[in-house]
Structure 1
Amino acid sequence: MTDFTDALSLSSGGLKAQSQRLRHISENIANVDTPGYRRKTVSFENVLDPSTGKASVQTGPMRLSQAALEQVFDPTHPLANATGYYDGSNVNLVMEIADAREAQRSYEANLKLFEQSRKMSSGLMDLLRK
């Protein structure tokens, strides 16, 4: 049964990591037009539990993109400088949508693994009861 619980634990860690990634992506999309906003990114880390020796995945620290902010020309904007430009965000909407699709597919794959492991352990329990 430990193999089933390991699979459930591993897939639930993946679900949590991808949901946090989707949260950051949705924040980026929501702030695409916010002046001075920097894109948030998150990385994944492989974590080894020393007591059990099992590996799992979790999100690393959130990072702000250091890419240059877009210079937007609008002399009427309150943040515009003397030349009429202000700092926009460095969020690329197409990139965010592509990242969201990738995160969604990874989330769905982890969910399928979770469901299959649960079904297999239920099936094994049913066989053992007979």
Structure 2
Amino acid sequence: MNDLTTSLSFAASGMEAQAMRLRLVSENIANADTPGYHRKVIRFDAAMETGLVEAGPVQLDRSDLIRVYDPGHPLADANGYYDGSNVDMVIEIADAREAQRSYEANLRLFDQARQMTQSLFELLRR
């Protein structure tokens, strides 16, 4: 029984981590046109003592911001440039798909462990 509850815990921690990743991806996509916006990234680690997935701190991607030429923009400097964001939509869409697939895999694992637990309880009732 302990192995089944451990499986449920692993799957739940993976789902929680991927949900957080998906939230950050959606924030990045929503702010892709915000001047000066640095995309948010997160790293996941497996906790050594429990084996659960743990999300690290949210960090800002420190890659260079895109310089946009728009002399009429209120943030433009004397040369007509301002700093855009460093969000790449192709990367964000790929991250979203990867997070979705990882979430679905953890969901299937969670569902299988739940079904096995339910079957075990039915056997014990007999």
Query: Normalising by structure 2, what TM-score?
Result: 0.98
- The answer on 1:103 being equivalent to 2:99 is yes
Secondary structure at the aligned position of 2:52 is classed as: strand
Secondary structure at the aligned position of 1:58 is classed as: strand
Amino acid at match of 2:64: A
Residue equivalent to 1:64: 60
Which stretches of structure 1, 4 residues or longer, exceed 3 Å deviation after superposition? Answer: none
Structure 2 matches for 1:16-31, cutoff 5 A? 16-31=16-31
> What is the distance in 1 between the residues matched to 2:51 and 2:81?
49
Percent of matched pairs sharing the same residue? 57
Query: Structure 1: 5+ residue runs without aligned partners?
Result: none
Tell me the alpha carbon deviations over residues 24-67 of structure 1, each in whole angstroms, 9 at most, x when there is no partner.
Answer: 00000000000000010000011134xxxx31111001110111
> What is the distance in 2 between the residues matched to 1:59 and 1:69?
26
Secondary structure at the aligned position of 2:42 is classed as: strand
Aligned length: 126
Structure 1 or 2: more strand by fraction: 1
Query: Structure 2: 5+ residue runs without aligned partners?
Result: none
> What is the distance in 2 between the residues matched to 1:20 and 1:58?
11
> What is the distance in 2 between the residues matched to 1:48 and 1:7?
16
Residue equivalent to 1:92: 88
- The answer on 1:2 being equivalent to 2:2 is yes
- The answer on 1:42 being equivalent to 2:42 is yes
Secondary structure at the aligned position of 1:72 is classed as: strand
> What is the distance in 2 between the residues matched to 1:55 and 1:45?
9
> What is the distance in 2 between the residues matched to 1:46 and 1:12?
13
Residue equivalent to 1:13: 13
- The answer on 1:113 being equivalent to 2:109 is yes
